[in-house]
Structure 1
């Protein structure tokens, strides 16, 4: 973790987002983790968690885990609490799954908000809400904010500019990365097919004024160099 914090700071970033699973080892020494973050001049922009959501019998257990996760996020001073996922049944998605998941997301968001966090749902490849119609079906059943991960939206068959505009009043957080057209492999900013200038215009037009997090899932190259390249790309846009 210290190596990761050093790399993020060295690349020029001012904050980080991490999975709640990365916080669990520090549950008994969370102050030490916070001090390590601060020592690098960083802030915790967000904490990401996930779940199945669609199985009511599992909600009690899932809530117990979310309560732990939310408490850790609040303890490290995170601004955002990002929730991703939503299981897909072996038989496929059912209309009722969106209703059950939407109502459950509202319960999680209420807990996160009560802890001082900004809650949002992250549409994700391989989840209940991947394609544009699936995102719409879920968001019709919940009031939670949107975490717009533009590469996941594009890889799921959507236009991130349209999704951001459609949910401008619910845009709570933004994840940026680029994507390759044929394989959906994620890439540093400016090295894929996304029209990132149009994406940034949509974010600005939505009135968004909060953290923007750069990600790069599963990238096989030099991740330190890729992080630096993505930041240089952003420094050449209107976000600079």
Structure 2
């Protein structure tokens, strides 16, 4: 696939209209952060419960959590009426040219798998400046101009390669405790990257973590919204987290991301604004719940789906 002119479509990859955004979920909403952790929900239980909660679309989650044989994974999904919408990789392009091989090795695994199951998106999360496991500071929390240039160039290179090799679109995910988190940083990232190869997975919770206005961003940069993660942050605790410089690892463990409608932003208006851009964009519920009891996620996932479909008519299952 070498005709890069074909990528000049809507950032979500629209091929037709629909009544609203496709609502899905992710292993993260079941507390899954790692491929193998005995405290996490087993993968087959996650699939059973995602289907029982009423979702049809799921993300892959950390590579190795779900089966990596494409035929087996297709069978497991198909038997439950589930489809795969995206995979996830992690990058650190601001650190230098040696980060390319690390990113591409992940892409070969993840994009190579999800593309065989029909997924068209790869959510790309930048390395955090502070460890999401220990809260330890690993590097400066801001980038200089040279690092910004390396970051942008690396993502454009990755986005082009993903499209040419797999027909997969890169969706960049700003994140708490990463170098791209505030509104100013997200806008700078968009300004320095090529919309043909790099667009935004707008995570409503992580963007609100630093005071970002998701609805405002959708209105300001509609051409750069390619994918959504739906979550809410607890506004009653957020300023304490920021004032006391609490790490993302600790804030997440303490439940800073909360079940809707207990947080911000309101999800209905964001869904409706994005549906007006492109009704083929995915909106994936992704509530950070790592460390939760294995019985906690299913009822929350069920109630969250019910809330979303009650607060907007521009949501659909498939």
State the TM-score, normalizing by the size of structure 1.
0.90
Aligned residue pairs, count = 238
**Larger RCO (alpha carbons 8 Å, 6+ apart):** 2
Going by fraction, where is helix more abundant, 1 or 2? Answer: 1
1:233 aligns with 2:233: no
The answer to whether the Cα contact below 8 Å between 1:79 and 1:118 also exists between their aligned partners in 2 is yes
Aligned residue among 89, 99, 104 for 1:63: 104
Matched position secondary structure for 1:84: strand
Which of these residues, 166, 169, 172, is aligned with residue 121 of structure 1?
172
8 Å CA contact retained: 2:272, 2:314: no
Residues 157 and 3 of structure 1: CA distance in aligned 2, closer, same or farther (over 3 Å):
same
Quote how far apart the aligned CAs of 1:208 are. Answer: 4.1
Shift of 1:175: 1.0
Q: Distance in 1 between matches of 2:220 and 2:89?
A: 24
Change in CA separation of 1:87 and 1:188 when aligned onto 2, cut-off 3 Å: closer
Which region of structure 1 is more displaced relative to structure 2, 194-203 or 35-44? 194-203
Unmatched runs of 5 consecutive residues or more in structure 1:
none
Matched, 1:194 2:243: no
Asked if residue 11 in structure 1 is aligned to residue 85 in structure 2, the reply is no
| Deviation digits for residues 205-225 of structure 1 (CA, Å, limit 9, x no counterpart) | 333432211111126472101
Structure 1 vs Structure 2 CA RMSD = 2.0
Contact 2:89 2:103 in 1 (8 A): no
Match of 2:286 among 191, 215, 224: 215
TM-score for the superposition, normalised by structure 2: 0.69
Report if aligned partners of 2:205, 2:232 keep a CA contact under 8 Å in 1: yes
Structure 2, unmatched stretches of 5+, are 1-42, 130-137, 239-255
- The answer as to 2:245 corresponding to 1:174 is no
Distance 1:30 1:198 in 2: 36
